[in-house]
């Protein structure tokens, strides 16, 4: 059986722990590979490789590092089909969605290609008599990323693209559920890195595993910063443990994104947008839209009827089926979890309008498929509303007024994304200003910002004070050094024993 190993110092690195995990094909339910889990010593070897490479890589000027990013982008684009097929075979999302996964990661790489401009510091001439003050951004050293199963290409590139471009070296611990794409990206980065003209074989390293590998990263004294995306409970643990060990940490958690539908919304567009945002990628997105809040009974009744009709047209199929809107979920355990949430919602008293639990795909009965589900009359006190289901389940929470609708996402424990559907510019502007959520879409169902802006939620959706990519990413992966310089003329004067001022 095929075995997937780590990638350290530019070559495959076999795990020494003696432990391994199964890598499934979610379409068939079969184990297609084994992935070796890293030991503490394996993680240390990756960190040491990164530390050795940092000496040379941090000395490479930003323009040359940008050229490596340009070449990496070219290589990823040239290998897009291979990466998408690899990703779909382990995650289960359809090929078109897998290509989107890769492309959204590449957009951050494109941003990183402009890193010389982003690294420019500030300069003040004549801050005092003969005194100039200037600042510079410098890399932290060895940094790390811990990434989830749902975006095995995009999120690693979100992290290491900016981190490496500014001069750091990187250790990546991707999800053990779909580990092949991150390794392939590291191989392509090494191929691109030859343009640097120096030994940087340890600039990007990959280790696989579970909590053992995560803890080894969090406690390693040479790892200066850690970025994480995953569930909120683990994000909280990552943040607290990393900070306790003196590291800079950004940890993105879960979500329960809401879509507010006002009576004047374009209902044709709303139904199409909700269908894609709630059920695309089987709902396994932190920016999925699993809660819709229609304002007023008439709006809610119409939305419910039209969503049922739309859901009847959805096609669930294998990842390679170009006509399928979404494929299987990542694992049998996750499928059971989603099914349990559906039963819980029914037990809690919500109206189960469409039940997707009995869906089965002919010829792929052992695959991890689940059909789309729809609940109506979900109440804020229900556990299924409070928690993240992370599956193809859409919940209708009815609101009587605009104010009630704003209050729902604002009071929820998560604050990742939110959307409003309306033709009323004033209402949209007021909503964007008042809602207590980090990313807002106006007639945009999945408001993931473009790469040169920044991604990050509020409340239990994010721990730490710095967001992903954009200039926030540059700030996270660098430290600022400020220099105050004076070049005196003639003889050196007497020393001063008071704090210098600019008078």
Residues 274-278, mean pLDDT to the nearest whole number: 97
100 is a domain residue:
yes
User: In the predicted model, what is the mean pLDDT of the chain?
Assistant: 95
286 and 314 together in one domain: yes
93 and 198 together in one domain: yes
Residue 3 has pLDDT above 60, yes or no: yes
Residue 379 has pLDDT above 80, yes or no: yes
Q: What is the pLDDT of residues 428-441, one digit of tens each?
A: 999 999 999 999 99
Query: Which among 55, 24, 42, 77 is positioned nearest to 185, based on CA atoms?
Result: 77
Cα–Cα dist 202/220, whole Å: 17
183 and 319 together in one domain: no
The model's confidence at residue 496, banded by pLDDT at 50, 70 and 90, is low
Q: What is the pLDDT of residues 39-62, one digit of tens each?
A: 999 999 999 999 999 999 999 999
Task: List the CATH number of the domain containing 394.
Answer: 3.40.309.10
Cα–Cα dist 191/254, whole Å: 35
Lowest-pLDDT range, 58-67, 142-151, 443-452, 493-502?
A: 493-502
285 is a domain residue:
yes
Q: Which amino acids are annotated catalytic?
A: 286
Task: List the CATH number of the domain containing 10.
Answer: 3.40.605.10
Query: Can you give the pTM of this predicted structure?
Result: 0.94
Cα–Cα dist 258/294, whole Å: 10
222 and 270 together in one domain: no
* pLDDT at residue 493, rounded to an integer: 60
330 and 479 together in one domain: no
The model's confidence at residue 171, banded by pLDDT at 50, 70 and 90, is very high
What's the domain count of the chain? 2
The model's confidence at residue 193, banded by pLDDT at 50, 70 and 90, is confident
Cα–Cα dist 146/129, whole Å: 49
Cα–Cα dist 208/158, whole Å: 19
Query: Which among 224, 202, 187 is positioned nearest to 56, based on CA atoms?
Result: 202
- Which residue segment(s) compose the domain that 177 sits in? 2-253+461-483
The three-class DSSP label of residue 457 is coil
Residues 310-333, mean pLDDT to the nearest whole number: 97
Residue 490 has pLDDT above 70, yes or no: no
205 and 304 together in one domain: no
Query: Which among 168, 156, 165, 153 is positioned nearest to 192, based on CA atoms?
Result: 165
The model's confidence at residue 198, banded by pLDDT at 50, 70 and 90, is low
The model's confidence at residue 492, banded by pLDDT at 50, 70 and 90, is low
* pLDDT at residue 200, rounded to an integer: 82
345 and 406 together in one domain: yes
């Amino acid at each position: 059986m095929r075995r997937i190993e780590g990638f350290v110092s530019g070559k495959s690195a076999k795990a020494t722990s003696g432990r391994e995990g199964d890598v499934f094909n979610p379409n068939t339910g079969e184990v297609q590979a084994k992935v070796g889990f890293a030991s503490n010593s394996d993680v240390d070897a990756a960190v040491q490789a990164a530390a050795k490479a940092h000496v040379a890589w941090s000395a490479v000027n930003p323009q040359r590092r940008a050229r490596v990013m340009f070449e990496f982008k070219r290589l990823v684009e040239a290998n897009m089909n291979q990466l998408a097929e690899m990703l779909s075979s382990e995650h289960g999302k359809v090929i078109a969605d897998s290509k989107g996964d890769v492309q959204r990661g590449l957009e951050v790489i494109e941003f990183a290609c402009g890193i010389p401009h982003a690294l420019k510091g500030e300069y003040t001439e004549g801050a005092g008599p003969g005194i100039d003050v200037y600042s510079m951004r410098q890399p932290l050293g060895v940094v790390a990323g811990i990434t989830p199963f749902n975006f095995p290409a995009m999120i690693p590139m979100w992290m290491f693209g900016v981190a490496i471009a500014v001069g750091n070296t990187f250790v990546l611990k991707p999800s053990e559920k779909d580990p092949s794409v991150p390794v392939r990206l590291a191989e392509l980065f090494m191929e691109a890195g030859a343009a640097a003209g120096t030994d940087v074989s340890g600039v990007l390293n990959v280790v696989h595993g579970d909590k053992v590998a995560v803890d080894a990263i969090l406690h390693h004294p040479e790892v200066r910063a850690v970025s994480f995306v995953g569930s909120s409970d683990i994000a909280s643990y990552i943040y607290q443990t990393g900070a306790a060990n003196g590291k800079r940490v950004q940890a993105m958690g879960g979500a329960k994104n809401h879509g507010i539908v006002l009576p004047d919304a374009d209902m044709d567009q709303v139904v199409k947008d909700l269908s894609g945002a709630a059920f695309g990628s089987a709902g396994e997105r932190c920016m999925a839209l699993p809660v819709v809040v229609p304002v007023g009974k008439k709006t809610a009744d119409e939305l419910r009827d039209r969503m049922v009709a739309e859901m009847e047209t959805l096609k669930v199929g294998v990842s390679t089926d170009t006509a399928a809107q979404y494929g299987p979920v990542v694992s049998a355990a996750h499928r059971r979890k989603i099914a349990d949430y559906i039963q819980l919602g029914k037990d809690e008293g919500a109206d189960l309008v469409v039940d997707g639990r009995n869906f089965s795909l002919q010829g792929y009965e052992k695959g991890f498929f689940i059909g789309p589900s729809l609940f109506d009359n979900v109440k804020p006190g229900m556990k299924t509303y409070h928690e993240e289901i992370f599956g193809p389940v859409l919940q209708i929470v009815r609101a009587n007024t605009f104010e009630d609708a704003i209050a729902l996402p604002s009071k929820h424990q998560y604050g990742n994304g939110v959307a409003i559907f309306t033709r009323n510019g004033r209402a949209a502007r007021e909503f964007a200003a008042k809602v207590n959520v980090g990313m807002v879409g106006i007639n945009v169902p999945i408001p993931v910002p473009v790469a040169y802006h920044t991604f990050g939620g509020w409340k239990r959706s994010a721990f730490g004070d710095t967001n992903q990519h954009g200039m926030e990413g540059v700030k996270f992966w660098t430290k600022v050094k400020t220099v105050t310089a004076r070049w005196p003329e003639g003889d050196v004067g007497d020393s001063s024993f008071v704090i210098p001022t600019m008078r």
